[in-house]
A and B are shown apart, each in its own frame.
Chain A
Amino acid sequence: MTTDEQKAIESEIYAFIGQEVYPPTPAADDINEAMIRQWAEIMGDNNPAYLDKDWAAKSIRGTTISPPAMMYVWGQEGFQVTKGRALNAMSNLVSVFDKHGYTGVLGTNVKQEYFKEVNPGDNVTIEMIIDNISERKTTGRGTGYFFETLSTFTDQRGEKVGTQRFKVLKFIPQEQPSAVATEDKLDVPTRIASPRGHDNKWWWEACDDGKVLIQRCKSCQTLRHPPRPMCGECQSMEWDSIESTLDGEILSHTEIHHPKIPGYQYPLVCAVIKLAEGTNFVANIIGCSPSEVHIGMKVKGVLEQVDEKTMLPQFYPA
């Protein structure tokens, strides 16, 4: 890029410094328990300061508070962003960058400071400006500029609740964006699959189709699992199979705590299950807390897609 081109973009972008993205805008909803509850459940946050009114009444605060990390949430635009965002200084700035070839975008830093705690019933007003734009930088992602927005939050009494600084890199993507360069690393881990050979391929293919089969000797009708080529009772190599109802009872179980393997979902419980048909079978127990799993527990299996590549029987409390 020549100096002239650099001058051209910089004269456009630096004009945005100080411009207002959002004028002071009160949130559509006051701070409320319903949204806090949803947030806390999903974050796994059991802090009683957020939702336990009895506890909070006796605490040093005397009342429940909004989780500080929700400060920006109250003023979010909502589902209409899926159809595009309204034009404002930030979207205009982004358009200028894009026009000059700085199409890459990467959020790099976010800092929230909290000056006071807010409570259910309060209303948060957000005001956002473009606070600063860096000089031209060469980064690992490519050449570009950092711009930083500054949001200021106030309550219904006009008292300052906090601020948020959000730094974004707009850059010219390199020839090979890292997402392509590291393609091998981009595979999302899935469960380790069984190898498939002559003696078990048919079983796993049925599993892919949503069925758990049990091999049966054609000569003496003895069921066997895992499958093998000959009947240990009568030595016949002729076999067919029956479909299991997946009704079963737990003979033993263990919860796998360590090591955790990529591609598996934890908590992870494995069990030996006696199927109603009489053969034993190893699978996962889900649908209840690991501490509820016990020997003698009745379970019912369902074929489920457990990840992008894997169909497996998963057993639930019956």
Chain B
Amino acid sequence: MIANVKDKAVIVGIGNTTFSKDSGVSELSLAVQAVKAAIDDAGLKPSDIDGMATFTMDNNDEIEVARALGVGELTFYGRSHYGGGAATSCLHQATMAIATGMAETVVVYRALNGRSGHRFSGGVAGDITTADAIHWGWYMPYGLLTPASWVAMFTQRWMHNTGVSKDALFEVAHSTRVYGANNPAAFFYGRNFDRAEYDAARMIADPLQLFDCCQESDGGSAVIVTTPERARDLKQPGVSVLGVAQCAADNQEQMTSFYREEFAGIPEMETAAKNVYAMSGLSVDDIDAAVIYDAFSPIVLWQLEAWGFCGYGESGDFVKDGALRTDGRLPTNTHGGQLSEAYIHGVNGIVEATRLVRGTSVNQPAKTVNHALVTSGVGIPTGGAILGKMD
């Protein structure tokens, strides 16, 4: 098979910073200067950029470059591994993204203080002051150090805005634990769990208590993805990716996007959802079941809103009507989720979403599952996909 990318991506601007032995500025400053120079060369403005490709070795997070430049929303960011071998790989990523419509205008960048800062000759030693390390520095001295505490900060405000109560958080926690109790692979297999135990559990970071938080697990999960042609010859019925998207929204930080006009929301997931629906030609009404990333109970609720199952602030009523249960509108996290199966960074969720479409979940709903939603973690740049039966 030959990739059909010819004439689908074109270089339109170039830019360099001054080269020196001691820049006297941060690597991030070098990155944004180089990117701005290239944007100017092309006659574009920062908000025209919607994709970025760089090296995994680059210390400049895409979201930090985006915020510094005023780029706004990013819908493509791809990193290429393995040191200097990544140079043309970044262009490859950008071309692929453009050919497939993931992004319209992608900037490739690489910036480093390779002499005054971390020298390659020095090996992997010494302190590196990256934009990411500096980002965490705004929270560490105050003790805001853990995922639960960051999510709690969003949850407190979201509950305040919407009036959603802990009854809804409990319904998420309880529905997944009932599923987990029936799943021999789940940590919660065979365990009873009720409201009294939920309420009595220790506070982690208010309003999150122990059972609002996922497992900590050892384990692995994998999925094999191939072409439709090849898939037709294999033993299992094929499960197609009907749409997939990622998004970093405006003014994004990792887990701490507290600087938005209203931060009790996940605009990055809203954009990803909109794009997945558009790619797949499906709407929310077509989704039969879901695996929604559940590191913490409230984030399931926000995602139900972002994917349009209900409006902002309505997810509490949505779940309390039993929507997440096997006979509900949207059977969700039927493996027990990361709250009660295991925390394998969402890849066990892709496994379960595939099972739901095949019809082989341990808690398979009675209705036919033509389309299953699966999502990534929130509070960070995120995304999701719709899986369906292969034609």
Contacts and interface: CB of A to CB of B under 8 A. Distances in A.
Interface of A: 191-200, 204, 225-226, 228-235, 237, 251-259, 261, 264, 268, 270-272, 279-280, 282-284, 290, 295, 310, 312
A195 B32 contact: no
Contact of A231 (B70, B160, B263): B70
A310 B141 CA distance: 8
Interface of A is mostly: loop
B137 A254 contact: no
Interface residues of B, number: 51
Given A228-B28, A229-B28, A231-B70, A191 B140 contact: yes
Interface centre among A251, A268, A283 (most CB of B within 10 A): A251
Interface stretch (B90-98, B148-156, B266-274, B307-315): B148-156
Nearest to A271: B153
Contacts, number: 151
Nearest to B36: A235
Contact of B263 (A228, A233, A272): A272
Contacts of B25: 198, 229
A197 B26 contact: yes
A194 B157 CA distance: 26
A230 B143 contact: no
B129 interface: yes
Interface string B118-148: 0000000001011101111111111111100
Contacts of B12: none
A313 B145 CA distance: 17
Nearest to A311: B141
Contact of A270 (B33, B144, B207, B263): B144
A256 B160 contact: no
Contact of A230 (B69, B135, B141, B208): B69
A213 B249 CA distance: 27
B143 A261 contact: yes
A232 B141 contact: no
Interface centre among B25, B67, B143, B157 (most CB of A within 10 A): B143
A198 B26 CA distance: 5
Interface stretch (B182-190, B197-205, B319-327, B378-386): B197-205
A233 B72 CA distance: 10
Contacts of A259: 146
Contact of A200 (B32, B67, B134, B143): B134
B38 interface: no
B154 A255 contact: no
Contacts of A200: 134, 137
Given A195-B137, A199-B29, A272-B263, 11 more contacts: A197-B133, A226-B259, A230-B69, A252-B153, A252-B157, A254-B207, A255-B206, A256-B144, A258-B203, A270-B142, A271-B153
A276 to B, nearest CB: 16
A199 B28 contact: yes
Contacts of A232: 67-71
